[in-house]
Amino acid sequence: QKEVEQNSGPLSVPEGAIASLNCTYSDRGSQSFFWYRQYSGKSPELIMFIYSNGDKEDGRFTAQLNKASQYVSLLIRDSQPSDSATYLCAVNGWSGGGNKLTFGTGTQLKVEL
Amino acid sequence: EADIYQTPRYLVIGTGKKITLECSQTMGHDKMYWYQQDPGMELHLIHYSYGVNSTEKGDLSSESTVSRIRTEHFPLTLESARPSHTSQYLCASSDDRGTDTQYFGPGTRLTVL
């Protein structure tokens, strides 16, 4: 079992719809959870992080965390074609004597006109 | 403006050459990382450093080496480049406080002929 699992997609949604991206993790001791967006050929850019159970909203983005279920999700409201990218879930946990960020393989999102 | 820089952005080089990929950050971060990513594939951590004179190998075995003589500088060296080293190399940094959020540089796309 991978430490951080994401559906690779592609996830296709129409413009204006809500896109829902999901991520599960295996380490119950994980403390912080991140969502990054990566356009093709570019480096990952941070969208938001969450560390408490519940929802965290930032503009059109909402991160949801459920530590009991070891599940974190990202909702994108009013999806735009410019949101088409790969979304990486990352989980911060303790490994090898220090905090370490483990990335999922990413979910490709396509927002269609 | 606080940022993380990588040079060169693109490098095409012949087999057997020695190369150094530069990474510098003005974020004031203690921790720095090198990732390798092939097109459409997941990120692999190859090296990290928690401070000056501290370097560790990551999850993916790499023939590259790194050094950390100054806090802001974390170069990666390949003594003898091979076609199998062709990839995108991403540098990141994070602070040692709070959520340990990682921020990425723009990346270096390396092609070894």
Q: Please say if the pLDDT value at position B96 is more than 80.
A: no
State how far the Cα of B7 lies from the Cα of B9, in Å rounded to an integer: 5
Sort out which chain B residues have CB atoms less than 8 A from A106's CB and list them.
42
Copy the structure tokens of residue B13: 């080089």
State how far the Cα of B80 lies from the Cα of A66, in Å rounded to an integer: 47
CB A88 within 8 A of CB A72: no
Higher per-residue confidence, A14 vs B40: A14
State how far the Cα of B101 lies from the Cα of B82, in Å rounded to an integer: 33
Asked whether the beta carbons of residue B50 and residue A49 sit closer than 8 angstroms, the reply is: no
- Residue range B61-91, pLDDT digits in tens: 889 999 999 999 999 999 999 999 999 999 9
Asked whether the beta carbons of residue A92 and residue B56 sit closer than 8 angstroms, the reply is: no
